[in-house]
């Protein structure tokens, strides 16, 4: 039984490594597919598997609380949707509230970036509501370009700043 769990974990780790390796765009080292890891991202007693333990894949997806966007876009990426599916299940079972913080890079006017940050947080909200989460559980905030996580003036820094953060 223990060997079976190890095999599943190893397969998941390999699949994630392949996915990360395949996500680059011809040498663009933007960090666009990276995510912030929050070890306290669980939502309650029903956050594990049926036997009370958490699957490796589910735990990895639950740990993703930052969702990245392409330049001038509010379209969710497929990897964000997979993680949001796990968060939606947790939110439905626990009934907790979360804040969806929309962010942009520094390019564009302050007004445009505030609106883009809001569109990004609304995109995450819309997806979670479609998965069955109550809109009352979701608070939206746009910070635009005001709270960067990377201070550089290059594509790698900008990519890290184009995000929505899910905060408990």
164 has a pLDDT exceeding 50: yes
pLDDT tens digits, one per residue of 113-162: 999 999 999 999 999 999 999 999 999 999 999 999 999 999 999 999 99
- For residue 88, give the CATH number of its domain: 3.30.1330.60
Element (H, E) at 84: helix 78-94
30, part of any domain: no
103, part of any domain: yes
101, part of any domain: yes
Distance in angstroms (rounded) separating the CA atoms of residues 101 and 163: 8
Distance in angstroms (rounded) separating the CA atoms of residues 165 and 148: 12
The answer to whether the CB of 19 falls within 8 A of the CB of 79 is: yes
111 has a pLDDT exceeding 90: yes
10, part of any domain: yes
120, part of any domain: yes
CA dihedral 111, 112, 117, 121 (to 10 degrees): 100
60, part of any domain: yes
* Domain with 140 in it: 2-15+37-167
Number of domains comprising the chain: 1
**Tokens found for residue 123:** 């995109």
The structure tokens 């390999």 sit at 14
């Amino acid at each position: 039984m223990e060997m079976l769990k190890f095999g599943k974990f190893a397969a998941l780790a390999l699949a994630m490594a392949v996915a990360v390796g395949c996500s680059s765009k011809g040498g663009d080292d933007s960090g666009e597919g990276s995510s912030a890891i929050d070890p306290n991202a669980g939502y309650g007693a029903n956050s594990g598997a049926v036997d009370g333990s958490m699957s490796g894949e589910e735990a990895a997806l639950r740990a993703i609380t930052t969702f990245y966007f392409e330049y001038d876009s509010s379209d969710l990426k497929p990897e964000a949707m997979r993680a949001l599916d796990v968060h939606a299940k947790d939110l439905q079972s626990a009934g907790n509230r979360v804040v969806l913080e929309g962010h942009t890079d520094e390019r564009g006017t302050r007004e445009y970036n505030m609106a883009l940050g809001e569109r990004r947080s609304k995109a995450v909200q819309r997806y979670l509501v479609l998965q069955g989460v109550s809109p009352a559980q979701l608070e939206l905030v746009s910070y635009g370009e005001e709270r960067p996580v990377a201070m550089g003036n290059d594509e790698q820094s900008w990519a890290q700043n184009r995000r929505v953060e899910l905060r408990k």
